[in-house]
Structure 1
């Protein structure tokens, strides 16, 4: 029976937010025959999420007991995935109603693709949803097109937090890069250079806006330029190697 593995890296301070994240998964109506597992990998030296995760029958929790950072924590979660697909879900975000069904349907309609990027609505503190236009056109995305966009515009063509990949592809390209910022885009460019994908026009996840978001920290932009240099170098090196083959 096909399985989708939802990977969540989390810190102890996400305890107040995590129940809603898990609740959005519990409410998913999956296509016939599909099952779901929720893998919560807890980063940090003082675990506090075990009791929260225990309330969700499809969930498994592992506390690392040390500070690893989000990229390493996600990669360790990936090592426990049993599914055909892996879906990234940040600990403060939600899956939209029918979000996983929309993603799975995209894979089933396009059996040769390796990844699906979902659209998001902003979920505001008062519970309202605010839509925004897609950054780039939706629909099928051929291999290499994402990276053409990155090299031209200096940013990604979609938000990477709503990404779903074939598990073998995620593992083959090395998972999340060891970067302090944009580690998810480094994974996207590696996967999207070698595999076609799909950018959904439908909203599949909710980007929760709240004061504790990591991207709101004062020092968050400081390391962005260096990390995007790594991303561009990854694209250019992959293309040089492909040309030599």
Structure 2
């Protein structure tokens, strides 16, 4: 039976929000024959969430950062599709079924990005719903120095994420660099229907002092990666 894996990296102080994230995963209704697994990887020296995470759980035993933690979780994923879910977010009803449906209707795509619902609004997505050709994300990032979609809503073929090395060692934009990299190799689909609730709070990484530092360097890394991929003519084969 086909399997979709939901992947969550988490800090040890996120027990309450992690439980809510797990409840939202368990509440998903998938198309007939599909199965679901939740893979949780805890970052930090002292594991605390083993009893909270009703999932395939493992701990780093060291503070390694979000990109490495996601990649360690990715190594334990069994699904042919993987959906990233931040520990402080929750999936909305139908989120996973819509992503699976997009892959079914458009067999040429290798990634789907959903739209978040903010606490009091809907995130303004800068690409329209539908299939987007390879290179579309990178072209926008290169011109505007920002992502046209929210990369925390990514569902992708597991193989293509592994092929580019997973989440990147980028200090401020590891998820944007990943989505830009896989979109250089293959087309994807943008879903305009909100698929997860983005929960804003003071503990978020993006709200911490100094977060804006290294922003320019982070986007320079993305631009260099995209330029190299295009210069080499990298793309996914048709088989």
TM-score normalised to structure 2 length:
0.95
Query: What residue in structure 2 maps to residue 184 of structure 1?
Result: 175
- 2:184 equivalent to 1:193: yes
- 2:83 equivalent to 1:87: yes
Query: What residue in structure 1 maps to residue 17 of structure 2?
Result: 17
CA distance in 1, matches of 2:147, 2:137: 7
Query: What residue in structure 1 maps to residue 49 of structure 2?
Result: 49
Unmatched 5+ residue regions in structure 1?
Answer: 124-128
Task: Tell me, yes or no, if the aligned pair for 2:8 and 2:87 is still in contact at 8 Å.
Answer: yes
CA distance in 1, matches of 2:3, 2:136: 28
Query: What residue in structure 2 maps to residue 113 of structure 1?
Result: 109
Task: Tell me, yes or no, if the aligned pair for 1:181 and 1:224 is still in contact at 8 Å.
Answer: yes
Query: What residue in structure 2 maps to residue 36 of structure 1?
Result: 36
Task: Tell me, yes or no, if the aligned pair for 1:121 and 1:130 is still in contact at 8 Å.
Answer: yes
Shift of residue 112 of structure 1?
1.2
Query: What residue in structure 2 maps to residue 60 of structure 1?
Result: 56
Residue 231 of structure 1, aligned match among 222, 227, 235: 222
Shift of residue 210 of structure 1?
1.1
Query: What residue in structure 2 maps to residue 126 of structure 1?
Result: none
Q: Secondary structure at the match of 1:168?
A: helix
Q: Secondary structure at the match of 2:189?
A: strand
CA distance in 2, matches of 1:132, 1:16: 24
Task: Tell me, yes or no, if the aligned pair for 2:117 and 2:123 is still in contact at 8 Å.
Answer: yes
CA distance in 1, matches of 2:168, 2:3: 25
Query: What residue in structure 1 maps to residue 210 of structure 2?
Result: 219
CA distance in 1, matches of 2:40, 2:82: 13
Q: Secondary structure at the match of 2:138?
A: helix
CA distance in 1, matches of 2:126, 2:187: 18
Unmatched 5+ residue regions in structure 2?
Answer: 235-239
Q: Secondary structure at the match of 1:201?
A: strand
CA distance in 1, matches of 2:59, 2:194: 31
Cα RMSD after superposing both structures: 1.1
- 2:138 equivalent to 1:147: yes
List per-residue Cα deviations over 1:152-175 (Å, max 9, x = no partner): 111111010000110110101110
Query: What residue in structure 1 maps to residue 237 of structure 2?
Result: none
TM-score normalised to structure 1 length:
0.93
Shift of residue 63 of structure 1?
1.0
Q: Secondary structure at the match of 2:51?
A: helix
Structure with the larger helix share: 1
Stretches of 4+ aligned residues off by more than 3 angstroms: none
Q: Secondary structure at the match of 1:29?
A: coil
Task: Tell me, yes or no, if the aligned pair for 1:44 and 1:65 is still in contact at 8 Å.
Answer: yes
Q: Secondary structure at the match of 2:213?
A: helix
